[in-house]
Amino acid sequence: MDGKAHFIMNRVIVLSIFCFSLVGCGADEPVYDVPLTFQPYVDRFIDMAAEYGHDIDFSDTGLTIRFRERVDLETGGVCRGDHLIEIEKVFWEDLSEFDKEGLIFHELGHCELFRGHRNDKLPNGEWASRMRGSPIPEGSNAVINYAGSRLAYYRQEFFNTALAAPDWVDRRAEYDDPAILNRIEVVSIQNQETFEESAIGISQGNFEIEVDMISGTSEGFVGIQFMGAANDDRIRVGFNRDGLFAIDSGNDVWGLMYLEEDFDKVLDGANKITIRRQGDFYYVFLNEEFIYWFDYKIPQRESVASLNAGTLGVPWYMSVKVYSI
């Protein structure tokens, strides 16, 4: 008897004892086996379902959520049918609270709501559904900002696929907004390979960070990181030589929000990144063109610093300016 067979035999014996000792433990009795790690997200799914007119409690179907036994980074999770969900542990541990919810809701979308993947886009180019999934259409990537003021729409869409596009698809900003004409310079740095400025006194009001830079000798992902005291509460905006452009934040902020591969708006030479906080939102511009907005969150610490995620070479910052607006 090899190890695996032995293990299975033990399981059969244990299960048999368990069954014989319980009245009504038939083969069809639904099993509910959700560890505490996952339970809050299941509770929230039930609450959301109720809010949108679905009565779900899993008493009729059972539900099992478990970590996958072998590492397989192909997918973060999978619904195996019969209300059995497997989650990739390595993937899970790297997710923000929002993205953990998104993943569990997605798998419950398959297992409980019997939904397939939905891969159309909203009018502004963002995913129409957190049920987006493989096969991801050519030229797109799976990144979705399931957080902040986008969250309510995505949550509701699980239960109502006919939901109208949310108002926020029209949110954008103009680089030449008259509101920034009276901006006051707070920080000015020229011609550096690295920099770090903290306690710059900007977060009480509106502000703008504007950086003119090149990849320099860096082979990696370069740009700026701002706010926060550590990786988990910092926000990062940057690019690499291959046209990868990303807006990312730590798991204590919103997680990874925006990604473009082969982005034609990343220029070969100098690139200008502008981040403008106005009220409840950040607006990101690349080379004076509006790219993306996301929600403002009161930072752990005020800072603006260079970002060089590569191991070889350094970027070059021609100009770094921070303005109070």
75 contacts Zn ion (rule: CB under 5 A): no
Measured in whole angstroms, how far is the alpha carbon of residue 154 from the centre of its chain?
Answer: 13
Count the site residues for Zn ion by CB under 5 A. 1
Nearest residue (CB) to Zn ion, 115 versus 276: 115
Alpha-carbon Rg of the chain, whole angstroms? Answer: 24
Torsion of CA 182, 186, 192, 193, to 10 degrees: -100
DSSP type of residue 254: T
Nearest residue (CB) to Zn ion, 101 versus 210: 101
Least distance in Å: CB of 150 to Zn ion?
A: 19
Count of residues making up the chain: 325
Between residue 261 and residue 300, which ones bind Zn ion under the rule CB under 5 A?
none
Quote the crossing angle between the two packed helices 151-159 and 39-51, to the nearest 10°. 70
Query: In the structure encoding, which two tokens stand for residue 106, read together?
Result: 């997605």
Nearest residue (CB) to Zn ion, 36 versus 73: 73
Least distance in Å: CB of 312 to Zn ion?
A: 37
Nearest to 318 by CA among 196, 218, 189, 203: 189
119 contacts Zn ion (rule: CB under 5 A): no
DSSP type of residue 121: B
Nearest residue (CB) to Zn ion, 84 versus 189: 84
Q: Where are the beta strands (DSSP E) in 143-264?
A: 184-192, 196-198, 207-214, 222-226, 235-239, 245-249, 258-260
Least distance in Å: CB of 110 to Zn ion?
A: 6
Q: Which residue is nearest to Zn ion (CB)?
A: 133
Phi, psi of 272 (to 5 degrees): -110, 120
Nearest residue (CB) to Zn ion, 62 versus 133: 133
Least distance in Å: CB of 80 to Zn ion?
A: 12
Least distance in Å: CB of 133 to Zn ion?
A: 4
Nearest residue (CB) to Zn ion, 137 versus 205: 137
Between residue 124 and residue 143, which ones bind Zn ion under the rule CB under 5 A?
133
Least distance in Å: CB of 79 to Zn ion?
A: 7
Site residues (CB under 5 A) for Zn ion? 133
